[in-house]
Structure 1
Amino acid sequence: MHAYYADHFVLPLPEGHRFPMAKYRLLRDRLAQQLPQVQLQVAPRASDGELALVHTPGYVQAIVDGTLTAAAQREIGFPWTEVMAERARRSVGATIAACRAALAQGVAGSLAGGTHHAYADRGSGFCVFNDIAVAARLMQAECQRGGSAGVVPPLRVAVIDLDVHQGNGTAHIFRSDASVFTLSLHGARNYPFRKEAGDLDVELPDGCADDEYLQALDQALDALEQRFAPGLVLYLAGADPHVGDRLGRLALSHDGLEARDRRVFDWAWQRRLPLAFTMAGGYGRDLADTLQAQLTTWRVAQQYHARWQNVRP
C-alpha cells in the first residue's frame, strides 16, 4: 500500500504553539517499524495549475511569494515561511498521489492532509490549501481525459469527513457541485463555530462516546448510499474524536475509533469503491494517543488493501 509523506518540511513554530508538528515524523517512524509492508514515499509538489483547480490565483500567489497579510496568517495559524508554502504544496501533492494510487490499487493514504478548513481564497484553522478539494477536482479532470471518445461524465467523489471539526472549507467549495458529496460528522459546539452547509452534516454533542457515534455513522453511511453513487471515496480519518484530544470535546475510545475506521473501509470495500485517506486532525494531550489512533487507521487500511489485491487480475 502506498503512503505519501512530507514531514521533512518542518515549520519553525514559536515555543508553546499548540499544533503538534512532531506527530508527522513520529507516525512515519512507527509505520516503518510496525507496518513495513506500507511503501513510504515522498509526496510530490502540487503545481500552481493543480492548486488553481480550486484556489483563486491571487491566494495561490500570496502563498508562493509570501505576501499574505498578518490577518491572513493569523487565520491560518502559521506564520508564512518558504517552508510553510512548500509543506502546503506537498500536503496537497500527497493526497493527489494517494488518490491516483487508490484508483489503481483500491486503497492508499497520506500521512498528512485533511486540510478541510481552507477556502478557495483563504486558509484557516491550520489549513493552507484544501488538499481534499484539489485532489477531487484533479481526479475528475484526469478521469475525463482518460475516458473514451464522446461525453464522459465526471467522476463522482464522496468525501467522508470524520475529523471532529466540520470541513467548512470543503463544504463551501463544493456547495453547488452535484458531482461531489460532502459528509461530515463533527462536534456541534466545536470549531468552526460558523458551519457551512454540506450535503450531509451530522452534529454530535459534547461527550459523545462510541455507541452514539457509531450509530450516527451507520445512519450517515446509509443516507450517503441512498443519495449518491460515488466512484471514489476520500476519507478524513481524524484522530481528534478521541477522548484524550485537547481540541476534540468528544469521547471515543481507541476501540471506538478502530470500529469507525472499519465501518468506512468496509463500506467502500463492499461497493468496490477505491478509497484514499488522510490523517486530518489529532491533538492528543498525550501525543502517544494520537499516534496510536493513526497507526490503527493504517493497520485497518492495510488489511483492506490486501483484500483489493486478492481480487484484482
Structure 2
Amino acid sequence: MPLPIVHHPAFDARFDPAHRFPMSKFSRLAEILVEDGLVPADGWQVPVPAPAAWLRLAHSATYVDQVLNAAVPREIEKAIGFPVDERVALRSRAACGGTVLTARLALEQGLACNTAGGSHHARREAGAGFSVFNDVAVAARVLLADREVNRVLVVDCDVHQGDGTARIFEDDERVFTLSIHAAKNYPSEKARSDLDVELSDGIGDATYLDALMPALAQSFDASLPDLVFFNAGVDPHAEDRLGRLSLSDEGLMARDRAVIGFCREAGVPVACVLGGGYSRDIDALARRHSIVHRAATAEFSAPSAGARRREA
C-alpha cells in the first residue's frame, strides 16, 4: 500500500512568475512526485474544497465571507501579500480541504502527506504572511468537532513562527502548539505558542536537531496527542530567500525522518503539510519540498512501532 499523498490542481493559483510568492512550486512538486515514482499518475488523493462551515470553525464568519466573496479589505490583502480573488479563494479552500483529508488518511493509515498547507500566519480574524486560511487550524477543529480526535499536537518546523495557529488555539487546551523558528524572522510581533523554540541566525543541521528533538519529546509528554500535524517548511534551508537558518537538504531529510519516526514510534498518526519555501528556482524549490514526501515514504515502508518492538 503506497503512502497516501493529497493533491488538487487548484493548489496552484497561477501567479505571475515574478511574484514574490512562488505559486508554481505546487504544480512542479506534483510533477516531480509522479516523475520520481512516489505517486502513480492517477494515484492522488483528491480533496473537496473546504465548505464555509469548516472554515468558520477556525475563522470569523465575517472574514470567511469576505474571502469567499472576493471582498477582502485592502489592508488585509496587503498583510497577506496578494489580492484575494476567486482563484485564490478556491486555492485556499482546496488547501484546507486537503489538510482535512490528509488528517483523516493519517488516522486511517498512520501517515499521510499534503502537497500544500501549512498556512500558519492566518489568525481567526484575518490572513497574513501569504496565508489566507489556516488549514491546520481548520482541519484540527473539524476533527475535534466530529470527535475523530480528542487531543492534537501541531509541530511547526517552518522557519517563521506559527503565530496564527498559536493565537487561534491559545485558549483551547485540546490543541498543543510547538513552533521552532528563527528568533529574528517574521513576524516581528510573536505570539505565544504552548512551546516556542527560538533559534539564532545561521545555525546548521546538528544544532537544529539538538534543539528540536527535546522540544518534540516535551510536547508529546504535555499533549498526549491522538494526531500530529507536522509543518515541514523548507525555509530553514541555507539557500532560502526568506529564511535565516542554514540547514542543508540532508538536514531537512534528517529533520523530517526524525519527527515522523518519533511519532510513528509513539504510535501516533502524522499528517504532513508543506509549509514555507521561497526561491526563484522553482525546480530546486519543488524538489526541496519533496523531501518530506520522500521521508514519509521511507517511514511508511518501515516496520510499525509494534513490529519493531516485537523484533527487538
TM (norm. structure 1) is 0.92
Q: Deviations over 1:127-149 (max 9, x none)?
A: 000100010111112235xxxxx
Q: CA separation of 1:14/1:36 partners in 2, compared to 1, >3 Å: closer, same or farther?
A: closer
Contact kept, 8 Å, 2:11 with 2:26, in 1: the verdict is: no
Q: Deviations over 1:36-66 (max 9, x none)?
A: 4463133211011111111111000001112
Partner of 1:135, secondary structure, is: helix
Q: Shift in Å at residue 15 of structure 1?
A: 6.0
Distance across 2 between alignment mates of 1:87 and 1:6:
9
Q: CA separation of 1:263/1:62 partners in 2, compared to 1, >3 Å: closer, same or farther?
A: same
For 1:42, the equivalent position in structure 2 comes to: 46
Partner of 1:42, secondary structure, is: coil
Q: Shift in Å at residue 178 of structure 1?
A: 1.0
For 1:201, the equivalent position in structure 2 comes to: 196
Q: Deviations over 1:215-257 (max 9, x none)?
A: 0011211211332210100000001110000001110011111
Distance across 2 between alignment mates of 1:218 and 1:50:
33
Q: Shift in Å at residue 304 of structure 1?
A: 2.1
The one-letter code of the counterpart of 2:49 is R
Distance across 2 between alignment mates of 1:295 and 1:10:
16
Distance across 2 between alignment mates of 1:208 and 1:307:
30
Gaps of 5+ in 2: 308-312
Q: CA separation of 1:180/1:209 partners in 2, compared to 1, >3 Å: closer, same or farther?
A: same
| Alignment partner of 1:32 out of 28, 31, 34 | 34
Distance across 1 between alignment mates of 2:214 and 2:109:
28
Distance across 1 between alignment mates of 2:230 and 2:66:
29
Q: CA separation of 1:97/1:309 partners in 2, compared to 1, >3 Å: closer, same or farther?
A: farther
User: What aligned pairs does 1:151-190 form with structure 2 within 5 A after superposition?
Assistant: 155-190=150-185
Tell me whether 1:236 sits opposite 2:238 in the alignment.
no
| Alignment partner of 1:300 out of 295, 301, 306 | 295
Q: Percent identity?
A: 41
User: What aligned pairs does 1:135-284 form with structure 2 within 5 A after superposition?
Assistant: 135-143=139-147, 155-284=150-279
For 1:147, the equivalent position in structure 2 comes to: none
Contact kept, 8 Å, 1:13 with 1:78, in 2: the verdict is: no
| Alignment partner of 1:69 out of 65, 70, 73 | 73
Q: CA separation of 1:9/1:268 partners in 2, compared to 1, >3 Å: closer, same or farther?
A: closer
Tell me whether 1:127 sits opposite 2:131 in the alignment.
yes
RMSD: 1.8
Q: Deviations over 1:49-95 (max 9, x none)?
A: 11111111100000111221111111111212111111110000000
Tell me whether 1:5 sits opposite 2:7 in the alignment.
yes
Q: Shift in Å at residue 9 of structure 1?
A: 5.2
Q: CA separation of 1:252/1:53 partners in 2, compared to 1, >3 Å: closer, same or farther?
A: same
Distance across 1 between alignment mates of 2:303 and 2:96:
25
- Count of residue pairs the alignment pairs up: 303
For 1:87, the equivalent position in structure 2 comes to: 91
Distance across 1 between alignment mates of 2:106 and 2:14:
33
Partner of 1:294, secondary structure, is: helix
Gaps of 5+ in 1: 145-153
Contact kept, 8 Å, 1:234 with 1:275, in 2: the verdict is: yes
Distance across 2 between alignment mates of 1:118 and 1:78:
14
Contact kept, 8 Å, 2:119 with 2:133, in 1: the verdict is: yes
Q: Deviations over 1:252-300 (max 9, x none)?
A: 0111111100110111011110000111101135334322322221111
For 1:98, the equivalent position in structure 2 comes to: 102
Distance across 2 between alignment mates of 1:30 and 1:265:
22
